[in-house]
Amino acid sequence: MNFPDLFDAFDAAVLPPGLPDAAVLRLRHDTVARELAAGEQLDLDPGRAFFAFLGVGACKLAAFVSSAREQIVSFHFAGDVVHVPAQGRYGYTLSALTDAQLLVIPADSLSRSGPDSCGMLRLASRETENALARSRETSIILGRRSAQERVASFILAIWDRLGAGSQDDGWIDLPMSRGEIADSLGLTIETVSRQFSELRDLGLIETEGRSALRVIDLPGLSRCAGQLPVAA
Amino acid sequence: MNFPDLFDAFDAAVLPPGLPDAAVLRLRHDTVARELAAGEQLDLDPGRAFFAFLGVGACKLAAFVSSAREQIVSFHFAGDVVHVPAQGRYGYTLSALTDAQLLVIPADSLSRSGPDSCGMLRLASRETENALARSRETSIILGRRSAQERVASFILAIWDRLGAGSQDDGWIDLPMSRGEIADSLGLTIETVSRQFSELRDLGLIETEGRSALRVIDLPGLSRCAGQLPVAA
DNA sequence: CGCTGCTTTGACTGCTGTCAAGTTTGGTGG
DNA sequence: CCACCAAACTTGACAGCAGTCAAAGCAGCG
């Protein structure tokens, strides 16, 4: 996918309808396309915040905590808009899990003044709010859940995200390693592996090779995740 | 403080300068003042998102996880703007730790269309972004830190927030209980209490009664918190 | 002064991290 | 097509930290 196609996809999927052409054109002007190979990391000015629209592939947003370990803030897939914050107490990096194509949009280009920029601002506000909601859910999972609940929650989330549109045989491919799963759940590789094995032994999931995964018993897995129905 | 005083404080502290009078007036019209006694909970439409400006007092924003335990998302103090999200997977509540006075502003009233509303949108966007940054830091702390590091981080954060403007003798009053601290750090009451005792035995802090606290050795406490200097 | 609820401390258990082998996987080059 | 290799994954043994259960100590308040 080249820049025009990527931008069109972005326009169709994300931009609110009815934006003035001038605003879209200016946004298009500020936007840059990037192609990342699997494992490659997006190199940006750490002092500025960005939004990234992921057209193709899968990415992780990670905070640098120490040389030994990073905390993965979120995983993203085709069609997602990622909020990459400016460096505060921690530095953030966006890296590709698979070959990826994305658009990079400086956050301040969405919030520039001007009579026609309200739509852009609303977009930025909405995406930031989405990111906030996801982040707060992450906090809840990290604060209160056992290893098994975390892994089960993770599988459910990935299943929700990748299972629907995937092939009909019900298998999905995890684009991230066990280590990356561990880094996103605040666990070690070994514990993640053990929990995968246990969920397999319980007959809730099936795995094949490093990355193939199938959920057999969705309600059972939800129970393992400690999911409560949303309080009415 | 009555409504006009509260709103003036909000205007002075938060609203960007140069907003059109009409926009400020409309915002003022959509804004409601609330007074909460300690322990009381703000009762809002759970289906809508709000911003709250805390004029006086201290509050906690909590997510309802199970009947046994809540996850406290953040603590807030006089002058803060709190983002109270609409109910998603979890319901959120804002409760007063001390007697509090606050302004409640529906989030959509900041994002309503109109040529003069860009300033409001920018405000909403900025506040949401602040909340996101704090939430991501929380995730990092919950995911990767030991009990002692969490408690030390918590004390440092509170000290930063309350220590500066406080009395000159260097004591601050914690408005939250050990249980609430535990709920915000993903620990149990007993562990929090043990860590307070240990930090006291280490000569890093001093406590008196339930709520009085003084930091004696700030660098030492930072070391206990496992703070890394921001990577250059 | 005595109550109630919060906090502290102690003993013990269990989960998860650490360390250390094995085993599998998927790719690479012969 | 097969053999080999490095990296990723799995499994086991063990230790340590934090949770659980229980009891005692305090603070604030009528």
CA B184 to C1' D3, in angstroms, rounded, equals 55
Q: Is residue A154 part of a domain?
A: yes
Which secondary structure element, helix H or strand E, spans residue A92, and what is its range? Answer: strand A91-96
Determine the 3-state secondary structure of B82 from DSSP. strand
Segment 193-222 of chain A within 8 Å of chain B by CB = none
Within 10 A of A168 (CB to CB), how many other CB atoms are there? 5
Model pTM? 0.89
More confident residue, A163 or A203: A203
Range A17-22 contact pairs with CB under 8 angstroms and sequence separation of 24 or more:
A18/A119, A19/A116, A19/A119, A19/A120, A20/A116, A20/A119, A22/A116
Which H or E run includes B152?
Answer: helix B147-158
Query: What average pLDDT does this structure show over A13-30?
Result: 87
Q: How many domains does chain A have?
A: 2
Residue A42 domain-assigned (yes or no):
yes
Separation between Cα atoms, residue A229 and residue A215, nearest integer Å: 20
Asked if residue A231 belongs to a domain, the reply is no
A212 membership: H or E segment, kind and range = strand A212-215
Most B-contacting residue of A118, A120, A128, A139 (CB-CB within 10 A), to test interface: A139
Distances (CA, A) of B64 to A88, B68, B183, B213: 29, 10, 11, 29
CB contact under 8 A, A73 and B125: no
> Concatenated DSSP letters for A18-77?
T--HHHHHHHHHH-EEEEE-TT-B----TTS-EEEEEEESEEEEEEE--SS-EEEEEEEE
Contacts of B129 in chain A (CB under 8 A): 49, 85, 128
Would you state the pLDDT for residue B111?
A: 74
- Tell me, yes or no, whether B34 lies in a domain: yes
Residue A232 lies in a domain: no
Give the pair of three-digit tokens for residue B39: 């322990």
Residue A174 and residue A204 in one domain:
yes
Give me the CA B89–C1' D19 separation in Å, rounded: 26
* pLDDT at site B195: 97
Backbone angles phi, psi at B81, to 5 degrees: -110, 125
Regarding whether A153 and A52 lie in a shared domain, the answer is no
pLDDT, tens digit, 9 for 90 and up, residues A178-218: 999 999 999 999 999 999 999 999 999 999 999 999 999 99
Residue A123 has pLDDT above 80, yes or no: yes
Question: Residue written as tokens 């400020």?
Answer: B24
CATH of the domain at B212: 1.10.10.10
Predicted pLDDT at B117: 65
Task: Looking at the structure, tell me whether residues B105 and B15 fall in a common domain.
Answer: yes
Q: Do residues B109 and B213 share a domain? A: no
Q: What is the pLDDT of residue B229?
A: 38
Residue A181 forms part of a structural domain: yes
B20 touches chain A (CB under 8 A): no
Q: Which residue has the higher pLDDT, A166 or B14?
A: B14
Q: Do the chains contact at A132 and B133, CB–CB below 8 Å? A: no
Position B229 in a domain: no
Nearest of A224, A181, A187 to residue A202 by alpha carbon? A224
> B96 and B111: one domain?
yes
Q: Does residue B120 lie in a domain region?
A: yes
pLDDT band at residue A229 using 50, 70 and 90 as cut-offs? very low
Using the 3D structure, point to which of B103, B122, B140 is the last residue of a domain. Answer: B140
Residues of chain B with pLDDT under 70: 67-68, 113-117, 164-168, 227-232
Quick one: A54 and A128 in the same domain? yes
pLDDT of A80 reads 94
Here the CATH number for the domain that contains residue B116 is 2.60.120.10
| Crossing angle of helices B21-30 and B118-144, rounded to 10° | 60
Q: Do B130 and B180 belong to one domain?
A: no
Same domain, B180 and B118: no
Q: Could you tell me if A119 and A111 are in contact, meaning their C-beta atoms sit under 8 angstroms apart? A: no
Residues 180-209 of A with CB under 7 A from strand C: 186-188, 190-191, 208-209
Specify whether A152 is located in the same domain as A46: no
Q: Are residues A77 and A175 in the same domain?
A: no
Query: Domain containing B19: what range?
Result: 3-140
Looking at B140, B162, B180, the residue that finishes a domain is B140
Asked whether residue B64 falls in the same domain as residue B28, the answer is yes
User: Both A131 and A173 in a single domain?
Assistant: no
Domain-ending residue, one of A114, A140, A166? A140
